[in-house]
């Protein structure tokens, strides 16, 4: 039998995502009630600009006092879609203290203070759900922490930022330069006026921290994630990638060490073989590739941002949290029992593509090969082109640590036959 008294929901933020959450709650009210076992009611909406017209939301629900809204005591679930660290953090903890569970899409806050927020939720016997914080509409958080809870996850690698994937895909498919592709992304609304958070990898790094923590049952903070942006990627890099049968993606990579004793989390551009499933992810779409012991290889794909896709993930969490409320239970919380150390980037082992500007004369290749050998970095392939006393030398290594590669590059710069290092890029997905 369905409960007739509605569960009350407070909405913090009514922008692109929040307005879609409110719309879906209204237009799908009967279906949501049937799935939950009780109707849900939008009890208040906290905004910064109350004068703005918000279609479908009664004016008497609008407030600028978010703190008073979450303190009401009759609120069952708070949906936080305002983003940022404060006041979101204070509002969420206040909601827990006053009897409400929380659904959030706040990747930055969860990457920085997820452990503390989970502790607050547990102390107050409430839920903290955040499917929408990573990869928009793609079901990812729940599969990692519930569906694969009985498995051992070894690696999570994915495209988790649609803006950067659009830019790189445009560079790959049209030969456009970075700035030209960024300008198009901005004109189409994929990139913000200030695209720094996207193109410099901050957004993806926050998501990597969340994914690594869940996948490896270890607390991973944003500061633990190595981050490298994509603004230095050039059309020449794409040309080199194509010669290797690869393309270039900005990847978030979280992996367990071979001995199982540590984990790493990193975000950077990388060449990836065209045969890899992630290579075919086009436009502003996201995809995450998961490798585990029992399930093997899995890929999750779909729209990673936007009002409706993100609202879909928020509503899925809202339904789950409301069901828990009715049953008197709570869902899975923080799982950090493994407490594995997070290794520095210097320990990461992968392949590298290095492009050098060198003098076009005999003996250069032998000098360069000697430097690689001295640092214990094995060479897989070499390509050399020269004209009029200048040449380019492209070296692809076997797997090597980041620290050993950095040492190699520093030594190469000391050779009088090496004019400069044009680019260094990791090769992943093999």
**Residues 95, 251: Cα–Cα separation, whole Å:** 35
Within 10 A of 289 (CB to CB), how many other CB atoms are there? 22
- Which 3-state string (H, E, C) describes 176-222? CCHHHHHHHHHHCCCCCCCCHHHHCCHHHHHHHHHHHHHHHCCCCCH
Query: What is the predicted pLDDT for the residue at 1?
Result: 64
Q: Which spans in 248-394 are helix H?
A: 307-327, 364-374
Query: What is the predicted pLDDT for the residue at 52?
Result: 86
**Residues 313, 103: Cα–Cα separation, whole Å:** 10
| Mean pLDDT split into 10-residue runs, the chain, 430 residues | 86 95 96 97 95 87 97 97 96 98 97 96 98 94 95 98 96 96 93 94 98 97 97 94 96 96 98 97 96 97 90 97 96 93 96 94 92 96 76 93 96 93 92
* pTM: predicted TM-score of the whole model, two decimal places: 0.94
* Cα separations in angstroms, 134 against 3, 36, 315, 375: 33, 24, 14, 38
| Beta strands per DSSP E along 21-109 | 40-46, 62-63, 77-80, 101-104
Query: What is the predicted pLDDT for the residue at 292?
Result: 97
Backbone angles phi, psi at 240, to 5 degrees: -65, -40
Backbone angles phi, psi at 421, to 5 degrees: -100, 110
Within 10 A of 232 (CB to CB), how many other CB atoms are there? 12
Backbone angles phi, psi at 350, to 5 degrees: -160, 180
Between β-strands 390-397 and 349-359, what pairing exists: parallel, antiparallel or unpaired?
Answer: antiparallel
Query: What is the predicted pLDDT for the residue at 360?
Result: 85
Query: What is the predicted pLDDT for the residue at 414?
Result: 94
Query: What is the predicted pLDDT for the residue at 90?
Result: 98
Options 107, 126, 170, 207, the catalytic residue: 207
Residues 6+ apart with CB under 8 A from 133: 104, 105, 106, 107, 110, 141, 207, 210
107 in active site? no
Query: What is the predicted pLDDT for the residue at 4?
Result: 76
Query: What is the predicted pLDDT for the residue at 56?
Result: 85
Query: What is the predicted pLDDT for the residue at 366?
Result: 94
Query: What is the predicted pLDDT for the residue at 388?
Result: 62
Cis peptide before 359 (omega within 30 of 0): no
Structure tokens at 260: 């199982």
């Amino acid at each position: 039998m369905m409960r007739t008294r509605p569960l009350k929901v407070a909405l913090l933020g009514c922008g692109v995502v929040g307005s879609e959450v409110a719309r879906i709650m209204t237009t799908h009210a009967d279906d949501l009630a049937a799935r939950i076992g009780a109707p849900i009611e939008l009890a208040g909406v906290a905004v910064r600009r109350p004068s703005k017209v918000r279609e479908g939301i009664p004016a008497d629900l609008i407030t600028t006092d978010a703190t008073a809204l979450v303190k009401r005591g009759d609120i069952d679930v708070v949906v936080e879609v305002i983003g940022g660290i404060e006041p979101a953090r204070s509002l969420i903890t206040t909601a827990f203290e006053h009897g409400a569970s929380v659904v959030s899409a706040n990747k930055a806050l969860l990457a920085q203070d997820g452990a503390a927020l989970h502790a607050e939720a547990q102390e107050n016997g409430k839920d903290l759900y955040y499917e929408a914080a990573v990869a928009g509409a793609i079901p990812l958080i729940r599969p990692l922490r519930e569906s694969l809870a009985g498995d051992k996850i070894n690696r999570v690698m994915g495209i988790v930022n649609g803006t950067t994937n659009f830019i790189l895909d445009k560079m790959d498919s049209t030969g456009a330069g970075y700035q030209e592709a960024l300008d198009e992304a901005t004109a189409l609304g994929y990139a913000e006026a200030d695209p720094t958070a996207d193109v410099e990898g901050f957004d993806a790094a926050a998501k990597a921290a969340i994914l690594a923590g869940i996948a490896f049952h270890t607390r991973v903070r944003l500061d633990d994630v190595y981050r490298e942006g994509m603004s230095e990627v050039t059309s020449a890099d794409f040309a080199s990638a194509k010669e290797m049968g690869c393309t270039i993606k900005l990847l978030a990579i979280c992996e367990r060490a071979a001995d199982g004793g540590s984990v790493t989390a990193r975000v950077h551009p990388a060449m990836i073989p065209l045969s890899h499933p992630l290579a075919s992810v086009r436009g502003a779409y996201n995809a995450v590739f998961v490798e585990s012991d029992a399930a093997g290889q899995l890929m999750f794909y779909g729209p990673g941002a936007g009002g409706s896709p993100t609202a879909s993930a928020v509503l899925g969490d809202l339904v789950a949290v409301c069901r828990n409320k009715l049953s008197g239970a709570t869902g899975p919380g923080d799982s950090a029992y493994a407490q594995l150390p997070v290794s520095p980037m210097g320990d990461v082992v992968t392949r590298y593509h290095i492009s050098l500007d060198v003098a076009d004369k005999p003996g250069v290749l032998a000098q360069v090969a000697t430097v690689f050998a001295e640092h214990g970095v094995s060479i897989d392939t070499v390509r050399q082109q020269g004209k009029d006393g200048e040449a380019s030398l492209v070296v692809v290594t076997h797997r090597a640590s980041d620290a050993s590669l950095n040492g190699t590059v520093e030594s190469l710069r000391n050779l009088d036959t090496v004019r400069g290092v044009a680019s260094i890029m990791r090769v992943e997905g093999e």
